[in-house]
């Protein structure tokens, strides 16, 4: 797109965010949980659980709602007639959601530790999960017709994420090794490696494979959708 088109659609979406009650509620809830998390004695809740909360309740819902609202408000056809493609709209909204989620995560990491290296390392570990949830939220937003359907179809993914995270919180690494097929398993134990100041980059391998698979599946689905 021309740079003026980018500015126009960015301005439109940023203005819309000010009046989107559900997104603002989820964003404020995420920030409140970040502050509450810092007050819990001995950090009894692992930071990976907080990441799961932010990605599930903010990233997925925000991305899905931003996309489906173009359909609800009947703006999608007007944007296409103005020269925007579905791909342009999707990429622009993903950039907004990615930026807002990244800022919230960085604030969480800075509150958790005053070491910049810790925040950067943890964000690097969380990045694959952020991308996975972002693409899932985009898929749900394109597939549904209203924000209620976004919440309903996103809930199974969120529940699965929290279910796996609960198992990780209440089990030892030597047990339930089958959980290693899930990307959040590697995020959970990768953060433990960071806390112990041990190498952690190998915990990125499986999540990155998930990212590649999710992106490829999304591209194939989107191309098939555009042909009909």
Question: Which candidate, 101, 93, 96, 95, places its Cα nearest to that of 141?
Answer: 93
If phi over 0 gives left and psi between -120 and 50 gives alpha, with beta otherwise, what is residue 172?
Answer: beta
User: How far is residue 3 from each of residues 6, 8, 13, measured CA to CA in Å?
Assistant: 5, 9, 16
Question: Which candidate, 52, 61, 74, 64, places its Cα nearest to that of 27?
Answer: 61
Q: For residue 218, what pLDDT is reported?
A: 93
- Per-residue pLDDT at 94 exceeds 80: yes
Residue 133 tokens, joined = 């949830």
User: How far is residue 221 from each of residues 136, 139, 211, measured CA to CA in Å?
Assistant: 12, 9, 15
Q: Which residue has the higher pLDDT, 5 or 27?
A: 27
Q: Which residue has the higher pLDDT, 49 or 71?
A: 49
Q: For residue 212, what pLDDT is reported?
A: 97
Q: DSSP 3-state assignment of 127?
A: helix
Most confident of 46-55, 143-152, 169-178, 211-220: 211-220
Q: What tens digit of pLDDT does each residue of 142-193 get?
A: 888 888 888 889 899 999 999 998 888 887 777 778 889 999 999 999 998 9
- Per-residue pLDDT at 125 exceeds 60: yes
Average pLDDT, the chain: 82
Burial of residue 19 (number of CB atoms within 10 Å: 0-12, 13-18, 19+):
exposed
User: How far is residue 189 from each of residues 114, 117, 173, 178, measured CA to CA in Å?
Assistant: 21, 17, 8, 14
Q: Which residue has the higher pLDDT, 4 or 98?
A: 98
User: How far is residue 123 from each of residues 15, 99, 112, 178, measured CA to CA in Å?
Assistant: 28, 13, 12, 25
- Per-residue pLDDT at 127 exceeds 70: yes
Q: How confident is the model over 13-35, as a mean pLDDT?
A: 71
């Amino acid at each position: 797109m021309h740079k003026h088109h980018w500015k126009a659609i960015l301005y439109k979406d940023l203005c819309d965010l000010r009046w989107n009650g559900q997104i603002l509620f989820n964003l404020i809830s995420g920030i409140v949980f970040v502050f509450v998390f810092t007050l819990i004695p001995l950090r009894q809740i692992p930071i990976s659980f907080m990441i799961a909360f932010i990605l599930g309740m903010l990233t997925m819902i925000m991305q899905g709602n931003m996309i489906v609202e173009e359909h609800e408000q009947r703006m999608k056809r007007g944007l296409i007639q103005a020269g925007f493609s579905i791909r342009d709209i999707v990429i622009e909204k993903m950039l907004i959601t990615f930026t807002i989620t990244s800022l919230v995560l960085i604030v969480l990491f800075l509150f958790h530790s005053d070491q910049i290296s810790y925040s950067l390392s943890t964000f690097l570990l969380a990045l694959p999960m952020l991308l996975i949830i972002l693409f899932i939220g985009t898929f749900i937003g394109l597939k549904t017709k209203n924000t209620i359907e976004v919440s309903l179809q996103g809930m199974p993914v969120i529940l699965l994420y929290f279910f796996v995270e609960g198992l990780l919180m209440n089990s030892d690494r030597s047990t339930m090794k089958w959980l290693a097929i899930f990307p959040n398993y590697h995020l959970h134990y990768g953060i433990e490696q960071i806390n112990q100041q041990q190498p952690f980059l190998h915990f990125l391998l499986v999540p990155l494979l998930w990212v590649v698979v999710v992106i490829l599946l999304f591209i194939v689905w989107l191309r098939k959708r555009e042909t009909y």
